[in-house]
A and B are shown apart, each in its own frame.
Chain A
Amino acid sequence: MALKSLMAVTGVILVLFLLAHMYGNLMVFGGQQAFDEYSHHLRELGEPMLPHSGALWIIRVVLLASVLGHAYSAVALWSRAKKARGHRYAVTKSAQGASARYATQTMRWGGVVIVLFVVFHILHLTTNDIAPGGASTSPYERLVNGFQPEFWYVTLFYVLSVLAVGLHLRHGIWSALATLGANKAKRERPLHAASTLIAVVLTVGFLLGPLSVTFGLVE
């Protein structure tokens, strides 16, 4: 039970982060200066109360803790579920219909995919250790370089990963709200709709940047 709450709370933190992150990404449409300033400001956040990059590091630590907590509770629940089932069924079928179940059935493997993606994403755009189109100190350039048409496979990987995130969120947001006690019979459909909406907004929001670069809308 504590596991569920941990999962929900960390999930909510991560969703809030994603919303902020998406907001930041969309700055890309404001041009190089706006985007680079934004990312620079992130490092100055909280100064002079906090040292340079202090706030950012606090956020990073919280995020890392959330990811670890989220993953830990997922693995624990997963192994508990396996143990709790015991013998497997010869035939399994969803009573809710296959499409409704797709998001829930992909939560665990989808989660693993997302973790791998995040690792790549940090190496790519944060530390710039992976730099398909050439390294740069400007975040804007890193972005633009990374998603050039000739690196279509990078874009494709991003697209698939972001879709995985969206799917994960579709069930995840609803589930977190239910776990935190927000569901009521009358709210069930609105909550599902809301979580789908947020998932779609985030998916689209994250895809806009890279796709715009790949298709030459942002240079």
Chain B
Amino acid sequence: MNITLRVWRQKNSDAEGRMVTYKVEDVETDMSFLEMLDVLNEKLTTAGEDPVAFDHDCREGICGACGVVIDGVAHGPETTTTCQLHMRSFKDGDTITVEPWRAKAFPVLKDLVVDRGSFDRIIQAGGYISAPTGTAPDAHANPIPKADADRAFDAATCIGCGACVAACPNASGMLFTAAKVTHLGMLPQGQPERAARVVKMVNQHDEEDFGGCTNIGECAAVCPKGIPLDTISQLNKDLLGALASGNLD
């Protein structure tokens, strides 16, 4: 099949960007979206034009490196990562618009590559359990009800790709933050730091210039790992609880 691509091109973070149109021919339906971009880049390189920069690594949907907005939807028409989106989801002759994640907290570095360091800083603020190496009790010391373990796991599957932010009309990073708060908050090991964690992470989230959450739900609708929206409510509950108990740190 033949595809027309409109791709955001931007030389570096300071440069002005623009949409550029390319034709990609002989696209096979079994190709992944990124393999289709590989084909474009091989063609551009051979023609002496700068290839399109995009982030990607594992290409099996788990590292969270890849992610672009395709025709207005983060990661495109299937609910999966961009690397696991295949060209069979498109038709011959389609025009596809490809843009980077747009958020002030994710500045564009080049073309479709953005800087998601703000996510790391949210984790630094408190997205962990303080368990220095060697201090752990036996793994069976603390049985955990399966329901809690499962809920923690569902939240823990977040891959930090940033689609939630890209899709949110407010450019909020609340689903990402809430996933971590819920993952750790559901486990007995996570209790001692629970109140302080949520306050510190939300403060950091706000400091990074993410927008506020208004419970629209676009984030969960595009999340390739299906992080449930109720994690945000859990975060709110934990936060109100923490604030009520005077944990204002």
In the complex, are there CB atoms of A and B closer than 8 Å? yes
Which residues does A use to contact B, with CB under 8 Å?
Answer: 1, 3-5, 7, 77, 80-81, 83-96, 100-101, 104-105, 107, 171, 174-175, 177-185, 187-188
List of A residues within 8 angstroms of B97 by Cβ:
90-91
Set A80, A96, A101: member contacting B212, Cβ < 8 A: A80
For B233, the closest partner residue in chain A by CB is A183
Asked whether A90 lies within 8 Å of B19 as measured between CB atoms, the reply is yes
Set A86, A182, A187: member contacting B104, Cβ < 8 A: A86
Q: List 15 A-B contacts (CB under 8 A).
A: A1-B239, A83-B104, A84-B171, A85-B211, A90-B8, A91-B97, A95-B73, A104-B214, A175-B214, A181-B237, A182-B237, A183-B232, A183-B233, A184-B233, A185-B228
For A103, the closest partner residue in chain B by CB is B216
Asked whether A96 lies within 8 Å of B170 as measured between CB atoms, the reply is no
Asked whether A81 lies within 8 Å of B212 as measured between CB atoms, the reply is yes
List of A residues within 8 angstroms of B69 by Cβ:
89, 91
Q: Given the known A-B contacts A81-B169, A85-B103, A96-B218, are A4 and B213 also in contact in the complex, defined by CB atoms under 8 Å? A: yes
For A74, the closest partner residue in chain B by CB is B214
List of B residues within 8 angstroms of A178 by Cβ:
215, 229, 232-233, 236
Q: How far is the CB of B154 from chain A (nearest CB, A)?
A: 8
Asked whether A93 lies within 8 Å of B214 as measured between CB atoms, the reply is no
Q: How far is the CB of B27 from chain A (nearest CB, A)?
A: 20
Query: Complex formed: what's the CA distance from A88 to B171 in Å?
Result: 11
B185-217 interface with A by 8 A CB criterion: 202, 206, 209-217
For A79, the closest partner residue in chain B by CB is B211
List of B residues within 8 angstroms of A105 by Cβ:
169
List of B residues within 8 angstroms of A91 by Cβ:
69, 71-72, 97, 99
Asked whether A96 lies within 8 Å of B230 as measured between CB atoms, the reply is no
B41 sits at the interface (CB 8 A): no
Set A89, A181, A183: member contacting B72, Cβ < 8 A: A89
B32 sits at the interface (CB 8 A): no
Query: Complex formed: what's the CA distance from A178 to B213 in Å?
Result: 10
Query: Complex formed: what's the CA distance from A179 to B213 in Å?
Result: 9
Q: Given the known A-B contacts A107-B214, A175-B214, A181-B233, are A95 and B209 also in contact in the complex, defined by CB atoms under 8 Å? A: no
Given A181-B237, A183-B232, 5 other A-B residues pairs in contact with their CB atoms under 8 A: A91-B72, A96-B217, A175-B215, A183-B229, A187-B230
Asked whether B229 lies within 8 Å of A188 as measured between CB atoms, the reply is yes
B225 sits at the interface (CB 8 A): no
Query: Complex formed: what's the CA distance from A94 to B218 in Å?
Result: 7
Asked whether A77 lies within 8 Å of B209 as measured between CB atoms, the reply is no
Asked whether B170 lies within 8 Å of A184 as measured between CB atoms, the reply is no
Query: Complex formed: what's the CA distance from A98 to B6 in Å?
Result: 24
List of A residues within 8 angstroms of B206 by Cβ:
1
Query: Complex formed: what's the CA distance from A49 to B142 in Å?
Result: 58
